[in-house]
Structure 1
Amino acid sequence: MQTPDTSAAGTTPQAAPAPKPDLQFADFALSPALLAGVAELKFTQPTPVQQLVLAPALEGQDVAGQAPTGSGKTAAYGLALLQQVDPTSATMQALVLVPARELVMQVRDALRSLGKHMPNLRIAGYYGGHAMREEVKGMQQMPHVVVATPGRMLDHLERRTIVPNRLKVLVLDEADKLLELGFQEEMATIISRLPLRRQTLLFSATMPDKVLNLVREYLTRPRVMNVGGSNATTLPESLVLRGHVVSAADQKPAALFHLITQPTAGRSLVFANTRDRVEELTRFLRGRGLAAEALHGKMLQPERDKSMMKLRNGSATVLVATDVAARGLDVNELDTVVQFDPPHETDTFQHRAGRTARAGAVGTAHLIVTPYEQEKLKNWPAASTVQWAGLRPPSLPDALPKPPRPSTVTLHVSAGKSEKISRGDLAGAFVSVGGMEREAVGRIEVFDHHSFVAVPEAQAEEILARMQGAKVKGKKVKVALIR
């Protein structure tokens, strides 16, 4: 039986070789079912992270990868772990530990999409914020892959609702954030209960000493690779960083409004350091006519789901969030990030800015700072490419022209996965009963006990009237407008 190599040798991230431009997913030893999933997702060519990680991971090696946000690392480790799963065995065979509830759902859904063509594959996501009995109830058939926050996973191990004696692969995703949020003790306890003969894959946006210590402690002769640049340059090349210096802190709200109402701002994510500031800014923006939503750790999970869904489907144009709440935010078409409050650490700066310009898309990250705050940030290597300029924001008049409203609104449907309802079932109902054209049905997200459907704002009242008392898969549902 292998034991972890705890020597310091080999744990410094090495720059990986340049990716091959002609490499395809078919060049890896992936099953036909996984290749079908990749094709359905329209992944045409492996990203650099996927190219570099897949080969050693598929060979069973432990891997520690430094990878920036939006680089495709979820698919890299997801394909590697799914390749090893045997859906005919009713055992948990892979565990992915992530730092936030939103990231649980994001990774779970990504793995389900990749493994869509693997018959009888079961993937579950476990996190706090709702009753444990809901998760236990769904375990009549043990999931093959579990994505979980450390606290909730430890709860399951303590209650023996999950026995991980057949585990093949452990993934520690966003390891730097797992440590930052104080999950070291929970991770140590969880890992002590896992089989020693397993594969461990670790990914982190940065590789400080505390993360390298994790690599030394839990990985066996790992391939430690830098697949996203040095710690100071892990931001996407397609990201534009702009710093706006205001003369005093009380000018910041006007500066924020000015930035996110520009024609090129698109969908915006605004970072604040405290939940009180999040609530304050959300009220300010709503009062100015913007479709703004809040997201922070003290909100109940259904409210968090609603806020994120509205941003993803376009019925909100601005999300104001704390760092912890936005860690797992999955919005592919996020155009603008604004750091209203300056971050306390360079790692936080990188994670915030990296929420836009994902997977090669172009995006802009703004900082609004006073001269004092600018002096602190200018010394950070991660901020070396910020384009600094003074900003005297236009004053906010008493009466403002109405900002453009979102073209879609979100409807809440009182049924979800527990009722065996799928996205296709809902789309069909909104077409056949709601009278919509199929292409007009917007983003659909299905949760355990409810679902969200985006529809054109101009048709919302008519659709609501038609859907009252409608049945989806024979079950009568309630449909309501989310405000």
Structure 2
Amino acid sequence: MTPTSPSFADLGLAPALLQALEELAFAAPTPVQEQVIPMALAGQDVVGQAPTGSGKTAAYGLSVLHQVDVKLDAVQIIVLVPARELALQVRDALKKLGKFLPNLRVAAFYGGHAFRDETASLQQAPHIVVATPGRLLDHFERRSIIPNQLKVLILDEADKLLELGFQDELVEIIKRLPRRRQTLLFSATMSDKVLDLIRKNLTRPRVVNAGEDTDELPENLKLVGHYGTVEKKPAALLHLLQQPETGRALVFCNTRERCSELTRFLQGRGVAAEVLHGKMPQPERDKALMKLRNGSSQVLVATDVAARGIDVTALDTVVQFDSPDKADAFQHRAGRTARAGAEGTAHILVTDKEMAHVKKWPVAASIQWKPLYAPKLPPAAHKTARPENVTLHVSAGRKDKVSAHDLVGTFVAQGGLERSEVGHIEVFDHYSYVAVPRPQAKDIAERVTGAKIKGRKIRVSLVE
């Protein structure tokens, strides 16, 4: 008889967590969850080598949620992540897993938006803080977060934290934490720098290897390489994006400047494109992501750092306009599509010299190579493409107790829409976005403005 895998209940998790897992339809632990949770619950330091999609967030999330004392008004868990989008993603995942823990407070802190917003949310200490290193250190300096009752520190994507130059901040942060604490570290790769970080900051850690990010890609991901001169790349990209099978696309560039320049080029040729890079204010980043998710745009042009951890489901195509230096970067980019069993295509546009470099990677054996096809460019248009959906901004959000359900009801009752016509909805702290059909958008905005949700009058305006 083959031994059966344990269930979440077998791992010793609290009933409130098992209730959340059932609601989220988590059937059985992944290998990394099966190994990490018992070690972490036993109070041991853990090093997990875990690739994207291995379930590591739930592995450490369930472990620390089991240990949180919701009656203790203090920061007990800190999760350090390399990027803002990942901070938001982890915060949301922890909130869902901890849904049935009474009065659980989870907060995300990151650069790019006003300090006063974060300070206001710290009037009552969150039990769990998810943060980027620079912003957490700022809070330590201002003493708006005092970690003297910390139980667990989690370093998520440690390789990326070090790659992005957060080494000094990590040293300074760890110096200010209680020595008696548990530390969990997760990394897709184990570089010398990561190993050094482990040696200096973890005590007799147990090691879990759920596999490194390798060059093995899912069978449902098609890889296509296009080679030619650098001058032909923009026209070749435009041609790719105009193909019906391309669908919703994420385009990678190596610099912020190239992202902005390429977005302007695409918009001028009638493509509904948005830009995403690390220097944009957070509301602008939220808006760009939301437009891709709800179909108000077709293409997001992004840097690696900005795209790290973003959650865009149903992404059909990835295009690497600039070639990355390393195979693992190629894989991270390509792996943004063909998720959860869906099909997807990842293209890379290269010069002959770049192709010679890419061909040294093991993954190159899976790439179907063809010459760049770059038809003559149309002249720049005065207007960008107009997708079928348009996004409306609503002046109320989570802090006003407004839910997606409330917004659907209001747009149906006051805006004259059928339920099926109300598109993707995203609710933020102080505002919300609702996608509606373009032809009626202006009329709907006028009708719904002045309507009351939870006793508060709302304003509705078009997002351009």
State the one-letter code of the partner of 1:218: N
3-state SS in 2 of match to 1:233: coil
| 2:356 corresponding residue in structure 1 | 375
Deviates more, 1:116-125 or 1:36-45: 36-45
3-state SS in 1 of match to 2:244: coil
Deviates more, 1:164-173 or 1:461-470: 461-470
Give the Å deviation of 1:372: 0.7
- State the alpha-carbon separation in 2 of the partners of residues 302 and 57 from structure 1: 36
3-state SS in 1 of match to 2:70: coil
The reply to whether residue 196 of structure 1 matches residue 203 of structure 2 is: no
Equivalent residues of 1:356, 1:365 under 8 A apart: yes
Where do 1:206-225 residues align within 5 Å? 206-225=189-208
Where do 1:287-298 residues align within 5 Å? 287-298=268-279
Residues 291 and 464 of structure 1, relative CA distance in 2, 3 Å threshold: same
The reply to whether residue 146 of structure 1 matches residue 129 of structure 2 is: yes
- State the alpha-carbon separation in 2 of the partners of residues 161 and 143 from structure 1: 11
The reply to whether residue 392 of structure 1 matches residue 373 of structure 2 is: yes
The reply to whether residue 60 of structure 1 matches residue 43 of structure 2 is: yes
Which of residues 5, 21, 33 in structure 2 aligns to 1:38?
21
Deviates more, 1:354-363 or 1:208-217: 354-363
Structure 2 residue ranges without an equivalent (≥5): none
Equivalent residues of 2:269, 2:379 under 8 A apart: no
**Aligned residues, how many?**
462
Which of residues 87, 111, 115 in structure 1 aligns to 2:98?
115
- State the alpha-carbon separation in 2 of the partners of residues 133 and 399 from structure 1: 42
Question: Sequence identity of aligned pairs in percent?
Answer: 64
Where do 1:235-314 residues align within 5 Å? 235-236=217-218, 238-246=220-228, 248-314=229-295
| 1:86 corresponding residue in structure 2 | 69
Give the Å deviation of 1:185: 0.8
State the one-letter code of the partner of 1:281: L
Equivalent residues of 2:267, 2:384 under 8 A apart: no
Structure 1 residue ranges without an equivalent (≥5): 1-18
| 1:5 corresponding residue in structure 2 | none
- State the alpha-carbon separation in 1 of the partners of residues 31 and 297 from structure 2: 33
3-state SS in 2 of match to 1:358: coil
3-state SS in 1 of match to 2:224: strand
Give the Å deviation of 1:22: 5.3
3-state SS in 1 of match to 2:226: strand
Residues 30 and 266 of structure 1, relative CA distance in 2, 3 Å threshold: farther
- State the alpha-carbon separation in 2 of the partners of residues 52 and 358 from structure 1: 24
Equivalent residues of 1:100, 1:327 under 8 A apart: yes
State the one-letter code of the partner of 1:209: D
Equivalent residues of 2:70, 2:103 under 8 A apart: yes
Residues 70 and 459 of structure 1, relative CA distance in 2, 3 Å threshold: farther
| 1:127 corresponding residue in structure 2 | 110
Equivalent residues of 1:468, 1:479 under 8 A apart: yes
| 1:324 corresponding residue in structure 2 | 305
Give the Å deviation of 1:405: 5.8
Deviates more, 1:202-211 or 1:406-415: 406-415
Equivalent residues of 2:268, 2:384 under 8 A apart: no
* Aligned-residue RMSD, C-alpha: 2.5
3-state SS in 1 of match to 2:78: strand
3-state SS in 2 of match to 1:365: strand
3-state SS in 2 of match to 1:82: helix
Equivalent residues of 2:8, 2:28 under 8 A apart: yes
Superposed CA offset, 1:463-483 (max 9, x none): 212211122211222111112
| 2:82 corresponding residue in structure 1 | 99
Deviates more, 1:84-93 or 1:429-438: 429-438
State the one-letter code of the partner of 1:32: P
Equivalent residues of 2:232, 2:372 under 8 A apart: no
Equivalent residues of 1:245, 1:371 under 8 A apart: yes
